[in-house]
Amino acid sequence: MTETAPDAGVALYRIESILAGDSSSLGLLVAPPLSDDTPILAAAGVQLVLLHAALAIPPPEYALYQAFTVYACSQVLLDAPPLGPRRARVTVVPLTPTGAIDDALVRRCCEPQTREEKLVCGAAFCELPAVIVYQDVPYIADAVSPELTPGSLLPTTGKTYAETARMKAPGTSVDMAQHLYRARQARAKPGMLAKATPPKKRTYIHLIPQLCTVHPLPCALWHDLKRLPTILYLWEKDLAEATLRRRWQWPHPLTEALTAASAKLSYSNERLAFLGDGVLKLVLTIDAIQSGQWQLTDAMRDQRLRRLQNATLCAVAESANLLPYVDLVGFHGSWFQPLLSDTTLPPPEDALTPSTRIKTYATVVEALLGAAYDAAGVAGAMTMAHHLELVSTRNVDLPRKAWALPAPTSCNWQLGSFGPPIDQPAVATSVAACVSTSLSGGTEAATDGPKLLGEALQYAATAIDLYATGTDPGEMTRRRHFVTRASLGARLVDTHVVPTPAPSATALGAAYESVLGAVAANAGVEAALAFATAWSRPLLVSALVDLVPVLRARDE
C-alpha cells in the first residue's frame, strides 16, 4: 500500500437516528472533510454527526480500514460491486460506544483467524440476536425455539435436523439436547430504505447452534451496514445540491431539478422542466425587452430563439458545470460511488447518446428554472437564469420608456369586462392602443415588444397553472394544447369582450397577447401572469372535463 492518508486529515462521522437519537455503531471516514458539520438525511431518518474534523491516520491503518470496508460490504450486501483496496472518498469503520474506531473489531474481521480462534466463535452459547454462520452462509438468529431439537423432524423431508446435518457433513457429532435457533437470511441486495419502511414478510429456518459459528460483525452493526447504501446515496444527492446552492447563494431546494427521469426514482425533474419550459421563454423575452427597450432587432429575436433550443440549453449546462451534479443512474447505479476510487468507473454521462445527452441536460436547465419559479416567482427565475448566464441581469422590472402609440379610436372592446388591472385608467389606455394597432394590421415596432411579451406571458401562465394541478407531464402537455391563440381569441367573443361581427379568432388572440404585454408594462410581470392565468383557466378546465371519463375508466 503506497498511498498515504490525505494531507488535510480525515473527518469521522457517526450515524444517528433523527427521531430517537440512537447512535449507530457504524462510522464513516470522509476525505477530504466536508464543510457541513451535520448533514441531515431526512429521507433515511438519520443524521451524520461529526466526531472528529481532522484525524491523522497512518497509511497502514488507513489501508486496514479500507480492507474492512471491502469485507463488510461483501459480507452484508448481495451483488455489491467489487471495491478495490485503493483509498476512496468514504471509508466504513466500526465504532465503540465512546465514538472511537473499534480497531480490535477491524483486525478480527480483516486478519486471518487460526483454527483455535474459529472454535472459540462457536454459536452454541451466543447472545441473541446475533449473526451466525452455517456452511459459509450468514444468518441472523433472533430467538431460540424451545420446541425444536436436532431430533425434531423437518416438515419438508421427514428427516431429523441431525440426520440432515450428517448428510451434508458425514461424521458430524451433534448434541441432541440443544434447542435450535430460529434464523433468517442475513444478506440482502442493496435497496432504498425509507425512514418508515414497512416490515417485510420473513422466511425463517432452524439451525443447530453447535454447527454454527458467530460472525465477527455484531448484529447491530450488520443492520447499520444494510442502511449504508441508502445513506451514501442520499448523502451524495445532498452534497450535489449543497454545492450548487453554495455556489449560487441559493436558499431553495434543487434536488428534484437535478434528478433525471433515467434515475427511475419516485420523482424526477420532468414536471419541473415542463414548468421551466414556460418560464424560460418568459425570462428570455424579458431580457430581450430590457436590452432593446421594447424594440427588438432581428438579432435579438434570433438570439432569443437560439437560447430556447435544447442544444443551446445543453451547452449552458456544460458551461455551468452542472453535469457532475445530475443524478442520471439513480440509487442502484450510484450508491457505491463514494466507496470507489475516483478513476474506478467512467462518469454516467459517458454512456448517453448525443441526442439523449442534449435532451437530458436541456431538461435539467429547464427544471432548475422551474424550481426557481416555484420557490421564488419570476424574480427567482430571473436570478437562476442569470446564474446560468441565460440573461444579462437579475432585474425583472420592465423598462418604463413610453413608446409611440396611435390613439385608440378604433378599439370597440368592452375593456371593463376584463376586470383588474385593466380597469386602471393608465393600463386601459395602453391596452386600447395596443388592441387598435394590432387589429389594424400595423407593424410598428412600438407594438412588437408587447405582443412578443404577451405571447411568452400566456405560455408561462398556462405552464404555471398546469403545474399547480399536480398532473404528470404527458397530461400537462395534452391539456396545454387547449390554450391556443385561436381559442383565446374565441373566448373574447364568447365572453362578450369583443362585439360581433368580430375579426378572426387568431387575429383576436394576437391582439389579446398585446393586451398582456401592455398589462405587464404598466402593472408588472406578476400582475400580467395572474391576469393571464385567470383568463385562460376556463380553457384548461374544459380540458379536464373532457378527461374525466378517461380517469374514471383508469381508476376502475
Domain co-membership, 436 together with 497: yes
Count of residues making up the chain:
556
Domain co-membership, 444 together with 530: yes
pLDDT for 345: 60
Report whether pLDDT(212) > 60.
Answer: yes
Domain co-membership, 65 together with 106: yes
Place 439 in a pLDDT band, splitting at 50, 70 and 90. confident
Least confident range of 207-216, 248-257, 272-281, 547-556: 547-556
393 is a domain residue: no
Domain co-membership, 83 together with 177: no
Domain co-membership, 533 together with 508: yes
Mean pLDDT across the chain, nearest whole number? 84
Give the CATH number of the domain where residue 343 resides. 1.10.1520.10
- 81, 111, 141 — which closes off a domain? 111
Q: Which domain holds residue 460?
A: 415-553
Domain co-membership, 99 together with 147: no
pLDDT for 368: 98
Please write down the HEC assignment for all residues of 214-232: ECCCCHHHHHHHHHHHHHH
Report whether pLDDT(555) > 50.
Answer: no
pLDDT digits (tens, 9 = 90+) for 264-276: 998 999 999 999 9
pLDDT for 512: 92
Report whether pLDDT(20) > 90.
Answer: no
219 is a domain residue: no
Domain co-membership, 494 together with 457: yes
pLDDT average, residue stretch 72-91 = 84
Identify the burial level of 396 via C-beta atoms within 10 angstroms of its C-beta, where 0-12 means exposed, 13-18 middle and 19 or more buried: buried
Identify the burial level of 404 via C-beta atoms within 10 angstroms of its C-beta, where 0-12 means exposed, 13-18 middle and 19 or more buried: exposed
Domain co-membership, 483 together with 368: no
Beta strand 130-134 with 40-41: parallel, antiparallel or unpaired?
unpaired
Report whether pLDDT(410) > 80.
Answer: no
172 is a domain residue: yes
pLDDT average, residue stretch 507-516 = 91
Report whether pLDDT(114) > 80.
Answer: no
79 is a domain residue: yes
490 is a domain residue: yes
pLDDT for 89: 86
Cα–Cα distance, 455 to 514 (Å, whole number) = 8
Phi, psi of 286 (to 5 degrees): -60, -45
Domain co-membership, 264 together with 355: yes
Cβ neighbours of residue 398 closer than 8 Å, sequence gap 6 or more: 286, 289, 290, 453, 520, 521, 524, 525
Domain co-membership, 35 together with 164: no
pLDDT digits (tens, 9 = 90+) for 287-333: 999 988 888 888 888 999 999 999 999 999 999 999 999 999 999 88
Bridge partners of 94, per DSSP, are 26
pLDDT for 550: 44
77 is a domain residue: yes
And the C-alpha cell for 321? 458545470
pLDDT average, residue stretch 241-249 = 92
Cα–Cα distance, 471 to 465 (Å, whole number) = 11
Report whether pLDDT(200) > 90.
Answer: no
Domain co-membership, 422 together with 525: yes
304 is a domain residue: yes
Cα–Cα distance, 529 to 427 (Å, whole number) = 15
Report whether pLDDT(37) > 80.
Answer: no
Place 72 in a pLDDT band, splitting at 50, 70 and 90. very high
pLDDT for 128: 87
Cα–Cα distance, 225 to 228 (Å, whole number) = 5
- 211, 236, 264 — which closes off a domain? 211
Place 95 in a pLDDT band, splitting at 50, 70 and 90. very high
Report whether pLDDT(526) > 80.
Answer: yes
- 211, 242, 276 — which closes off a domain? 211
1 is a domain residue: no
Q: How many domains does the chain have?
A: 4
pLDDT digits (tens, 9 = 90+) for 362-384: 999 999 999 999 999 999 999 99
Give the CATH number of the domain where residue 524 resides. 1.10.1520
Q: Global pTM?
A: 0.86
Domain co-membership, 168 together with 256: no
Report whether pLDDT(98) > 70.
Answer: yes
Place 542 in a pLDDT band, splitting at 50, 70 and 90. confident
Report whether pLDDT(474) > 50.
Answer: yes
